[in-house]
Structure 1
Amino acid sequence: MTDASIPLNVLDLAPVVAGGTAAQALRDAVDLARHAESWGYHRYWVAEHHFVAVASVAPAVLIGQILAATDRIRVGAAAVQLGYTTTISVAEAFGTLAALHPGRVDLGVGRSAQRRQQALAAAGASKAAQDTTAAQALPRVVDGVVVPAPFDPSRVLARPRVLASLDALIPEGAAAPSFSQQVTDLADLAAGVFTARGTALRSTVAECIDGPVWVFGSSAGESATVAGRRGLPFVANYHVSPATTLDAVAAYRAAFRPGTLQRPRVVVSADVVVADTDQQAHRLAAGYARWVHSIRFGDGAIPFPTDSDDLTDEQLAGVADRTETQFVGAPSAVAARLRALARVTGADELVVTSVTHDHGARLRSHELLAKEWGIL
């Protein structure tokens, strides 16, 4: 099997960089998508994040712009946070995109508002319990893939800013349906068999959706099992939660029943920075630790910095699971780690995300990887 037999995709957050603007980050996203298409990438997915220094906040709008600027590459969401909106709004937005660009739109979804109770519970958790949990696990290496000690997300969810963000995103008194029900409703709307209060409701635009719902998940929890039980493709977020990726994939495969798909389909993400030499790549990735630290221990993602020189050893240790699992280096070194990730997870496709301070360097990173992977 050659590398090129495993499709390589791009995940973009449209990151705002230090000294840059959101407008420039959005223009850079469209520019990267054009290049990614010419370099042979299979899909281009955009994320959804709010109240932080990334510009990918309205996936359907950004996807429409990218579709209009490209010709062939599939474009989608990684992922729409279902709990922040209504299911019908998502179905009709992506149905509109699919009607205008048939065969090119991927609808990816993730959990969001369902985490409100988790966040509230985390706010009341004792720090001692969190520290005990973190201390019990040790990092390991599985056939060349680093599986670090897990990071306790309650530390993030308990922060006042996170709770305030949830309140701003979810109207007071609103209660999102279960994630499983939302995924079911999306599939039913696309298939023209949706009902509410026992009444059939059809949206001709939603029925233009012409591909499966992609479910994104970071653990062996609800997202993995929902994807498996409905026979949908599953995207495991190694770039976000490397400690739990193998468990998430195993849970998805264990839960899988033929549905939309007859066989499991797994995509695994990785954070990469590629340059002509290892030394150059590490210089380009120098701001990553500071950026991840701002996400975990600050007020959310800051504009991507040029370095992490201001972090203490203790602060660096707090993001070590992410820095150790970022694939940084010359093309051959990064490709070798991606091959190992695909082998260990049994991934059918890989999706890479890359953040650097310089847009030209980010373009070069994707170009070098495409050449090494054999798709360019």
Structure 2
Amino acid sequence: MTPFSVLDLAPVPKGATTAEALANTVSLARHAEALGYRRYWLAEHHNMVGIASAATAVLIGHVAGATQSIRVGAGGIMLPNHAPLMVAEAFGTLATLYPDRIDLGLGRAPGTDMATARALRRGLSGGDEFPQDVVDLIGFLGEAEEGQKVRAVPGAGTQVPVWMLGSSLFGAQLAAHLGLPYAFASHFAPGALDDALATYRRNYRPSQAHPEPYFMLAINVFAADTDAEGVRLRSSMQQAFLNLRRGTPGYLPPPVEDIAAIASPAELAMVEEALKVSAVGSKASVAAKLDALIARYAPDEVILTGQIHDHAARLRSFEIAAEVLAG
């Protein structure tokens, strides 16, 4: 059985409050834990009213405190926004509070627009410093050396597992070079998936913590009792992605019966290409698509995401997916 996990952006549905969105995140995390999901990851985004996971480390602590055994982590922390020492201290604290349950995925993008990136006060050159920042962060989480002047307290010695996230060859190459597990953002940027995976596996350099490459595939899932209902549920994510590309991001829209009625053919083609790594529809349809993706990419783990407007339908979607993957 391929292990399966959850990626959550804490979406704020249109008509709901941020407090309700955060309560939904806790509800889904508990549901996922009961269904056998391995991890529950949260993603850092800023200046987006429809996403409530900006203070990612804070929310990770909240979710970890509301669950018992599921691993909780970042998918990911956008490292250019942060000083490596502060990330090490935050996740060292989480690992001290919740031993052997915290993961730290690292991304290179700012997770927002350039104006907001400037407001985050790490400048716009973080991408150029990213490889060294990753190395520094891993060092802060390792055992402190005698005479070391700067230590992460808490953090040093916690050995929080670090993952590389990516949607291009850059992340694949860095993950391979450093001997880190690698998660590809195929749920919204699948264009370089095949090349990135081949690069990662071909160039992997074993590390002490990870003697073998470990690849996680991200998949959108919109599962329901019928194919038609799964397609309808997916329309919320399609609209959200379309609004983002139009420069008008907002709350997660309610589903529509016909997405073609509110988007041009060119826009629909763009959305379909971006979201093509998706399993949509009834249990049988979702099973067929998940089986095909796992057979093609042979991931060591899959991480499922699905921005669905109705919380009960979202819980049901992850339940159906778990039934498929555990079967």
TM-score, normalised on structure 2? 0.92
Are residues 1:289 and 2:246 paired? no
Report the CA distance between 1:313 and its aligned residue.
2.3
**Residue of structure 1 equivalent to 2:254:** 305
**Segment drifting more, 366-375 vs 88-97:** 366-375
Query: In the alignment, does 2:198 pair up with 1:201?
Result: no
- Structure 1 residues 58-67 or 333-342, which shifts more? 333-342
Mapped to 1, the partners of 2:135 and 2:60 lie a distance apart of 23
Specify every segment of 5 or more residues in structure 1 that has no aligned partner in the other structure, as ranges: 116-160
1:112 maps to 109
- Paired with 2:17 and 2:165, the residues of 1 have a C-alpha distance of 28
Of the candidates 64, 67, 70, which is equivalent to residue 73 of structure 1?
70
Candidates 172, 179, 184, aligned match of 1:236: 184
Distance 1:41 1:266 in 2: 17
Q: Are residues 1:219 and 2:191 paired?
A: no
Q: Does 1:257 align with 2:205?
A: yes
- CA distance in structure 2 between the partners assigned to 1:367 and 1:63 by the alignment: 22
Q: What is the SS of the residue equivalent to 1:6?
A: coil
> Which of 300, 314, 317 pairs up with 1:362?
314
1:8-157 aligned within 5 A: 8-52=4-48, 53-113=50-110
Paired with 1:194 and 1:283, the residues of 2 have a C-alpha distance of 56
Aligned partner of 1:342 among 266, 283, 294: 294
Q: Identify if the C-alpha distance between structure 1 residues 291 and 175 changes in structure 2 by more than 3 Å, giving closer, same or farther.
A: closer
Correspondence for 1:146: none
How far apart, CA to CA, are the structure 1 residues paired with 2:115 and 2:137?
28
Measure the CA separation in 2 of the matches of 1:88 and 1:220: 26
TM-score by length of 1: 0.80
The answer on whether the counterparts of 1:188 and 1:194 sit within 8 Å (CA) in structure 2 is no
- Cα distance change on mapping 1:372 and 1:199 into 2, 3 Å: closer
**CA shift in 2, pair 1:323/1:93, >3 Å:** closer
Q: In the TM superposition, what whole-angstrom CA distance separates every residue of 1:119-172 from its partner, at most 9, and x where no partner exists?
A: xxxxxxxxxxxxxxxxxxxxxxxxxxxxxxxxxxxxxxxxxx933222222356
Name the residue aligned to 2:129.
178
Change (3 A) 1:207 1:355: same
Does residue 318 of structure 1 match 2:270? Answer: yes
Q: Which residue of 2 aligns with 1:163?
A: 114
Q: Is the 8 A contact 1:99 1:208 kept in 2?
A: no
Q: State the alpha-carbon separation in 2 of the partners of residues 42 and 374 from structure 1.
A: 12
For 2:156, what is the secondary structure of its paired residue? helix
**1:242-264 alpha-carbon deviations (Å, 9 max, x no partner):** 12111111121122101131000
Query: What percentage of residue pairs aligned between the two structures are identical?
Result: 39
Question: Which stretch has the larger CA shift, 236-245 or 164-173?
Answer: 164-173
Q: How many residues align?
A: 322
Deviations 1:269-313 (A, max 9, x none): 011100111111112222222111112222335433322442222
4+ aligned runs moved over 6 Å, structure 1: none
Q: Which deviations, in whole Å up to 9, do the C-alpha atoms of 1:84-111 show, x marking residues without a partner? A: 1110111110010111111100111100
Distance across 1 between alignment mates of 2:121 and 2:283: 43
> Does residue 185 of structure 2 align to residue 188 of structure 1?
no
Deviation at 1:173, TM superposition (A): 8.2
Q: Is the 8 A contact 2:39 2:70 kept in 1?
A: yes
Contact 2:2 2:325 in 1 (8 A): no
Worse overlay, 78-87 or 302-311: 302-311
Unaligned runs of 5+ in 2: none
Specify the alignment match of 1:246 in structure 2. Answer: 194
TM-align CA RMSD = 2.2
